[in-house]
Amino acid sequence: MTALGTHFRSDICVQANASEVRRASEWMAQHATEHGVPADQMGRLDLCLNEALANVIAHAYSGSENKPIRLTLEVCDCAQAAVTVTDEGPAFDMASAPLPERPQTLADAEPGGLGLMMIRSFSDDVAYRRIDGKNELTFRVHWG
């Protein structure tokens, strides 16, 4: 999302641990509600946020709980909202990484691996960039 047309922006920094995921969701929900994001779109953003944070915590930081994750929420007067998740982990383009193959049977299914698919399915678009040694993943929803 560009600054043009944006009428609200908020940032927060959370630590890479599971207890911070709830705080991140509450922060996003409060600001999104205050700035007119419809509840169904907010639900989509929250699901994507939770999946992105789980991936950063588990993979980018491999359990290092003191690492920062910066979150930015932007709400545009053009009926869209975006969340950007910024971490300092190894480069990983979640937006274009190949999705795991779907298991043919329940016996073949393994836990995890659905985060990428969920973020891509529940957002209207996903973008990634690596800048200054940091990953920036942005997912966006539209309404109206």
In the predicted model, is pLDDT for residue 1 greater than 50? no
- The closest alpha carbon to 131, from 64, 86, 69, 66, belongs to 86
Report the candidate in 43, 42, 45, 51 with the shortest Cα–Cα distance to residue 21. 51
pLDDT at 111: 54
What is the percent of the chain with per-residue pLDDT over 90, rounded to a whole number? 67
For residue 137, with 0-12 CB atoms within 10 Å meaning exposed, 13-18 middle and 19 or more buried, which class applies?
A: buried
pLDDT of 37 reads: 97
Using CB atoms within 10 Å of the CB of residue 107, give its burial: 0 to 12 exposed, 13 to 18 middle, 19+ buried: exposed
Q: What is the pLDDT of residue 2?
A: 44
pLDDT in tens, 36-67: 999 999 999 999 999 999 999 988 998 787 89
Residue 3 is predicted with a pLDDT of 47
pLDDT tens for each residue of 84-120: 999 999 998 877 777 667 667 767 655 556 778 889 9
pTM: 0.86
Q: Average pLDDT, whole number, for the chain? A: 88
Cα separation, 74 vs 70, whole angstroms: 13
The DSSP secondary structure of the chain, one letter per residue, reads --STTEEEEEEEEEESSTHHHHHHHHHHHHHHHHTT--HHHHHHHHHHHHHHHHHIIIIISTT-TT-EEEEEEEEETTTEEEEEEEE-SS---TTTSPPPPPPSSGGG--S---HHHHHHHHSSEEEEEEETTEEEEEEEEE--
